[in-house]
Amino acid sequence: MKENLYNYILGIADNSLILGQRMGELTGHGPSLEIDIACTNISLDLFGQVRSYYQYAAKIAGDGRTEDDIAMLRKERDYLNVLLVEQPNTDFAYTIARQYLFDVYHAMFLTALQSSHDITLSAIATKSIKEVSYHQRFSSDWIKRLGDGTNESKLKIQNAVNTLWTYTDELFHQTEADKAMVTEHIGVDVTQLKKAYYQKVTSLLTEAALEVPKLKWFQKGGKSGIHTEHLGYLLSDLQYMQRTYPNMEW
């Protein structure tokens, strides 16, 4: 129970940590000041959420590790985030497509997590859902603006969606920790979110005059610690200060 709960928390938190780092990379590099600030705020929201998760994970572990140790000092294979969130900021269209494809899932997941029998996870979800609702509005608005904009913006957002679509199915895979927590009425049965997720995403892509990708094969592995090459480079930046100057605190 204790190990499964710990791993379950990491599976949730690592998604927000890695996506938060990706969005933080855009600080000072957004296509306009307004968007720059919005992306930075999304990053800060996600980091705020993961602090709560990692503090709880440290308490569950009970081995003297802190939230900083769990967040910053694990090896690549110890991170349990989905592959989608570690994909790079190729261009603004990729950033928006990645954000939207995760936001829809994240909002559905947190809505369900509010009913968890674990009062700590339920409280984190209740607090976080307000922020994630804004994230989803931001990313969905930009999907529509880019899809129904110029020929160039339409081409770029379509290419981004086509490329990132292969990582969406992993959102609904269950690990052993996931299954155990569902049985205990603590976790969310993500398989039950899949149909509504693709309906919502398909509806928006259609509204944005974009084509919905038709793929039979999807990429997976992140939830088991098997990642793309991008995560190692991301972690080298994320962990640099903590490893160079040990015992720093958030």
Q: Provide the H-helix boundaries in the chain.
A: 2-24, 33-61, 67-72, 92-113, 119-147, 151-164, 176-183, 194-207, 229-238, 240-244
- If you write DSSP's letter for every residue of 123-174 in order, what string do you get? HHHHHHHHHHHHHHHHHHHHHHHHHTS-HHHHHHHHHHHHHHGGGSGGGG--
Contact 22, 234 (CB under 8 A): yes
Residue 250: predicted pLDDT: 60
Q: Which residues of 175-212 are buried (b: 16+ CB within 10 A; e: fewer)?
A: bebbebbbeeebbbebeebbeebeebbeebbeebebee
Residue 249: predicted pLDDT: 67
- What the chain holds in terms of domains, given with CATH numbers, is 2-244 (1.20.1260.10)
How many CB atoms within 10 Å of residue 1? 10
Residue 135: predicted pLDDT: 96
- If you write DSSP's letter for every residue of 7-28 in order, what string do you get? HHHHHHHHHHHHHHHHHHTTTT
Instruction: Give the span between the Cα atoms of 36 and 202, in whole angstroms.
Output: 27
Tell me the pLDDT of the chain (250 aa) as tens digits.
789 999 999 999 999 999 999 998 877 776 776 787 888 899 999 999 999 999 999 999 988 888 999 999 999 999 999 999 999 999 999 999 999 999 999 999 999 999 999 999 999 999 999 999 999 999 999 999 999 999 999 999 999 999 999 999 999 999 999 999 999 999 999 999 999 999 999 999 999 999 999 988 899 999 999 999 999 999 998 998 888 888 776 6
Residue type at position 52: S
Residue 28: predicted pLDDT: 72
Residue 42: predicted pLDDT: 94
Instruction: Give the span between the Cα atoms of 131 and 20, in whole angstroms.
Output: 13
Residue 246: predicted pLDDT: 82
